[in-house]
């Protein structure tokens, strides 16, 4: 079945450091890929998405590129801020014959803590 694997956390960085959170997936066909962020006590917010190979999603300084050859969708940010401290989830939405299964399959989440 479909699965998403994220790098193990937690990740602790100093402000202005470079961030990479690795994400690889297994899916049949060509899934859509997403990064969601969850701040303490809140629901998930869509951070960025990519729907086909070589697409780059970007938002709020975060970027991720859909790499079909390596089945990866790594999240990067050039300079993190304290306000970026949150849990980050990589997810995929699978399709079969052009029809969506509807569900998102999530990675286990990566806790990011940024210190001043």
Partner 1 sequence: EAGVTQSPTHLIKTRGQQATLRCSPISGHTSVYWYQQALGLGLQFLLWYDEGEERNRGNFPPRFSGRQFPNYSSELNVNALELEDSALYLCASSLGTGSYEQYFGPGTRLTVT
Interaction between residue 32 and partner 1 (CB under 8 A)? yes
- Which of 49, 66, 112, 114 forms a contact with partner 1 (CB under 8 A)? 49
Of 17 and 95, the one with the shorter C-beta distance to partner 1 is 95
CA–CA separation, 14 and 82 (whole Å): 8
Of 14 and 51, the one with the shorter C-beta distance to partner 1 is 51
Interaction between residue 53 and partner 1 (CB under 8 A)? no
Tokens of 27: 């899916």
Q: Tokens 């190979």 identify what position?
A: 53
Interaction between residue 110 and partner 1 (CB under 8 A)? no
CA–CA separation, 15 and 34 (whole Å): 25
Query: To 5 degrees, how large is the angle CA 96–CA 31–CA 104?
Result: 95
Interaction between residue 107 and partner 1 (CB under 8 A)? yes
Stretch that binds partner 1, among 8-16, 58-66, 76-84, 104-112 (CB under 8 A): 104-112
Q: Strand, coil or helix: what is 58?
A: strand
Q: Which residue(s) pair with 49 in the sheet?
A: 34
Which residues bind to partner 1, rule: CB under 8 A? Answer: 32, 34, 36, 42-46, 49, 51, 89, 93, 99-109
């Amino acid at each position: 079945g479909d699965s998403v694997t994220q790098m193990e956390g937690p990740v602790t960085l100093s402000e202005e450091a470079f961030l990479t959170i690795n994400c690889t997936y297994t899916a049949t066909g060509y899934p859509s890929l997403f990064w969601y962020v969850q701040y303490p006590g809140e629901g998930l917010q869509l951070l960025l998405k990519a729907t086909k190979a070589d697409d780059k999603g970007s938002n709020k300084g975060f970027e991720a590129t859909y790499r079909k050859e390596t089945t990866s969708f790594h999240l990067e940010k050039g300079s993190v801020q304290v306000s970026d401290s949150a849990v980050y989830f990589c997810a995929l939405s699978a399709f079969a014959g052009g029809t969506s299964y509807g569900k998102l399959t999530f990675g286990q989440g990566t806790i990011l803590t940024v210190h001043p």
